[in-house]
Every structure is written in C-alpha cells, then in structure tokens.
Amino acid sequence: METTLLDPVVGLVLEKRYRVERRLARGGMSTVYEGTDLRLDRRVAIKVMAEALATDPSFIASFNREARSAARLSHLNVVSVSDQGEDDGFVFLVMELVRGQTLRAVIHENGRLSPEQAFAVLAPTLSGLSAAHRTGLIHRDVKPENILLSRDGVVKVADFGLARAVAGTGTTSVTNGVLLGTVAYLAPEQIERGAADARSDVYAAGIVLYEMLTGKPPYAGDSALSVAYQHVNNDVPPPSHTVSGIPAEIDELVSSATRRDPAARPLDAGAFLAELFDVSTDLGMSRVTVPVRYRDSSAPSRPLPGQGAADPGSRTPQGPRGPRTHHTAVLGSGAGRSSSPDESVLSSTAGRSQGARRRRTGRIALALVLVLAVVAGGIGWWFGSGRYAVTPEVVGFAEAAAVQAVQDAGLDPIVEEVFSETVPADMVISADPEAGAEIMRGSTVNLQVSKGPERFVVDGALVGLPEADVSTALAGLPIAVVRAEGFHESVPVGSVIGFDPAAGTDLRRDQQITMLVSIGPEPRAIPEVSGLAQDEAQAALVALGFAVDVREEFNRDVAAGIALRTEPAPDAGPQPVGTTIILVISKGPDLVAVPDVRGKDRETAIAELQAAGFVAEVTSFLGNRVTQQSPGPGELAERGSTVSILLSFF
C-alpha cells in the first residue's frame, strides 16, 4: 500500500458526502482512494483526476458525459459507477470498491497464465464489454490494469469512457506510454485516425489474451511511437511462437481478434466471446477458477490474503512439467482449484490414449498399403505436368467463388480487402499472378477484393455544438473542412449551424465539406415608429431584438406620449440584433406660468418676464408702471411666447 502521509486529498470530505481515507493506487491521469459514502454508510472507491485534467473545461464536460454513460451500465463484470462530481478543484468519480488484484499484478506474479486460466479471465471480461457494446458504449482503453479480479473470483472491467474523456481535451502527446489510451493495446485505427468502435475493444482484448498466454505484449520498443508503428504495420504473431504447445485454434483466435483491418475482426465483444466458447468446446477445455493468486505448476496454489485456505480434498497433486500435447479447460470460474495444465492433460486423456493408439495403428497400416500402390504412378505424373497449375480467371468473381476456384486449381489464395470506387463490394478486383499463368501447385495467388467505396459520415449530433468541439471531432476524419459563416436566429454565435453536404451524407476520402458557423441573427431594419404611442413604438422595436432607451423632449405640435423619432433613424440601414435604439417621445408644448408684473416699473417687469422664458411686448401710455398684462398672472403660456404689458401713470 502506498504511503498517504503527504497526500492532500486524504482526509477530505468531497461534496460533504464522500470521505477520502487512504490511497490505493496512482497513475498518470488519476489517483484511486478508498473511502466511505457517508450518506449510505458504505465503502467506495474514489478516482480523483489529475490536476492538469481537472483544470481543463473541455475535459470536465467530456468526463461528466462519459461518467453518466458508464453509470447507466449495470453488469456483474463491470465496475459500477455510482456518482461523479467536482469539489474545490477536485474532479472525481465514485465507483464500486473491488478488493483483489488487477490482471496486471496477476501476470506480473506468474509470468504467464495457462490457456485455461487465460480463458477464465477473458470470458467474463468479454461479457462485460459485450453488455457495454450493446448499449453503444465503447471502452477505448482495455488493458490488464483495467481488468480487476476480486477475491471471490469475479472479473470486472473498470474505467469505461475515461480514454474518450481525456481525448476530449485535444491531448495528442505521449506521456508515460499513454497516447489517448495505452499504446501497447491500441488498435491500428485508433493510432492512425483516432477512431474507435466495438472492434477496437476486440483488438485490445485480443492483445490482452496474447499477453496472458505469453507473459508480455506482442510489441516492444524504445518509445511509444515505435510500438504504435508496429501495431499499424505488423500482424500480431501467434502466441505459440513464444510459448510452445499452445494449440493452433488459440493462435487463430488471437489472430482473428487482432487483425489490422477492423472489418476482419469479430463484430463486437459478444462475437469474440462466441468464438472463445467455440474454441473452448473444440479443445474440450474444462473449467478452472479465475487465477487471483496463481503460482506455477511446481508449487502448490495458495489463496489470496483474507480468502482462507483452499479445501485440501479438492487439490490434485502437482507433477513434473512435461511436454504439452493437449489443453483441457476453461470458461467461467469453478468452485475448486485447478491442477497444472500438464496434469489436466494426463488425467483427462490417459484413459482414452491407449485405445486411440490401437485404432490408429490399424488405420495406419491400411493407409500404407494404399499409398504404396499409387506412389509409383504418382511420382511420374508429378515430375511431368502434375506439379504445375494454371491460375484460373477470377477477376469479377465474388470472393467465395474466387477462393474456391483458386483452391480447386491446387493453389493457395491470399485475400487482401481494399476500397474501390468502381468495383462492387465482395468482388475480385485483381489477381496476382494473372489468369492463365503456370505456377507450382501450392503457390499463392494474391486476390485483391473490393470492400466497396470508402465513405465517411459526419455525425448529425455535431450540429449546434461549439465550433472548437466540432473541429476536434472532424479532425479524425480524412475529409477537407472549409469554414463559412452565416446568420441564424437560434444557434448561438460561434456554434455550428450545419454542413454542406448535410451531416449523415456519405463522403469520399479528402472530399470537401463546408462547416457553417453562426454569427447570430441577421441585422434588422429599424421600423418607422413616429406618431405611435410610446408603448406601441417600444414594443415594435423590442420585437425585432433591439434594446430601447427612451428619451423625452418638448414639442408644441405633438401631444405628450407620442413617438417623435428614433436614433438611429430608419434610413440608417439594418442594425445588429441587440443594438440599443434611442426612442424620442414628445412631452408636448413647454408651458410656463406667466408671472405677475402689474404695478412694476418697465425695467423690472421686462426682466421678470424674460427670466420666466417669455418675450415682453411693451405699450406705453404717459407712464412707467405696468397697469395691464396679457396673458394674465398665473396663466399657462408656451415658453418663448409673447406677454403684452401696458405702461401708464394711473
């Protein structure tokens, strides 16, 4: 157990619910802790993401989406996810706590597993992956570290969706052997195009099977890129090239799952599991327990710590390691412990061997007589024309018919599938050597078979997403993307309106597609609102998406509350939605109360009228005192209008 004395997360209570108690393991992208769900009073595993990822908004969004998808998956062989959250900068996932070992630890302790034990681990692994594939969920990072073997022998797959969440950050660099997934287990299409589907998980599971059988992955190198290169350019070698005695059926099973062309692999984990059962049945393999704490055949097996001792009566004595001639065993987890593979061979085949040998001896004797009878004539034929074959005409044939024709000619067909714009799928494009060539029997004829046109599809779910997210998704497709801008009433500025050709259209490699990005709604013309009541004028402007700022002014000709004009005016042209329009409203004429200037001398009266905003019109009749005024004192008159005063001495 790692020390947790200096770990700042230990002791925290995340979201006031999950108490972090001790660190279990730490990796490049996350650290796993044991903790307690205080609300439900149960033990849980808490995966806290690395700080570099937790500060990336795109990762957090993708992490939350993938966590919700994983939480919907319920299966015995999948580590259940119960919650996800973010607290004070810590992005975390709450999962089922599995007590036991990772498959990585089991392989490290044992060097390698027997075929029986490897199948016992792989079968439930594929069962869990199959449940995910049926719901459309892809793991993307199947590897021994993510396959957990509990103390009670249950196999569980962990970390669904985490690789995709990390990929959402746009990270492409290699760190500690991780290239958006662990490079030793990545399928060629993940390395070349960043694309992954259920068949990519099948490839990784095939690599895991190879490693369980041999003790190491098929490819090694000085750098992650050199390992990636081998995945893309080499076929995975048969496990029997490393460990002698592995049956050819298992070699073919590994080969089927790890073909470089995804179309040649099992369709999904369920299809791979069916092939696994077929091989198990063909080899007559018996059931063994999941090797949580497996030791080699020279030492007695021991239980995991805390499991208790195995039943002594169920053990089979261990014999010396001898050459393997047959493998018995496999799927599921049995109640008792298995003996070594060699003992299984001896115990299950010894009774049949002697009888089989006697029958074979009789058949061999008869066959020898028949062979000697035809050898003499056969030798002459062979050294004449018999050792040569003529390659048949197969171009334009369906693949099955072409293969049959080549085999009937005594030749060995090798099929290569390629995309073709002109030849229908499953039809032979070319043959090498060409038809009519004379070659030695048993020679190979290379058939190039059409996979039909190569097409790529842009996901319709990208419409409406931010441009940056869409560009990241399209980067994995070998198509040319051209950016264009357009107005849209509802799609936010900077998000994608659509594509031309439309999303979902079949596209050829390097075909151009236009990504239309929203620049918001189209600018609007300012309506003519003068003469309308204020509320009507304001409503007309707001309905078009403008902001309105109301301003009032006096007007002798327009009644109060009536719109006078807008600024800008309608003839200023269309304005962007959201522009602030000034709406000028009439306050009516500017009326002022006329001051009382009666009895005042000429100068004083004129000054007071002017101060009130009026113009004085003076009439003098033998005096200097105001005796009359019009309008009269206190009457309302328009500011700037004339007030007449009469001066006399009376």
Strands of 502-542 (E only): list them. Answer: 506-507, 512-518
What's the token pair of residue 476?
Answer: 């994995």
CB neighbourhood size of 468 (10 A): 12
Residue with tokens 């052997």: 177
Please check whether residue 184 is in contact with residue 226, taking contact to mean a CB–CB distance below 8 angstroms. Answer: no
What does each C-alpha distance from 116 to 272, 405, 428 come to in angstroms? 17, 39, 40
Residue with tokens 């008869």: 366
Please check whether residue 304 is in contact with residue 100, taking contact to mean a CB–CB distance below 8 angstroms. Answer: yes
Rounded to whole angstroms, the Cα distance separating 314 from 337 reads 7
Rounded to whole angstroms, the Cα distance separating 27 from 52 reads 13
141 among known catalytic residues? yes
Residue count (the chain)? 650
575-580: which pairs have CB atoms within 8 A and are 24 or more residues apart? 575/523, 575/524, 575/525, 575/526, 575/546, 576/520, 576/523, 577/520, 577/521, 577/522, 577/523, 577/524, 577/544, 577/545, 577/546, 578/545, 578/546, 578/547, 579/546, 579/547, 580/546, 580/547, 580/548, 580/549
Chain centre to alpha carbon of residue 494:
22
Rounded to whole angstroms, the Cα distance separating 222 from 243 reads 24
Rounded to whole angstroms, the Cα distance separating 166 from 177 reads 14
CB neighbourhood size of 262 (10 A): 18
Q: Shortest CA distance to 146 belongs to which of 227, 25, 237?
A: 25
Task: Give the DSSP letter of residue 612.
Answer: T
Rounded to whole angstroms, the Cα distance separating 56 from 515 reads 25
From 56, 141, 159, 342, the catalytic residue = 141
Catalytic site positions: 141
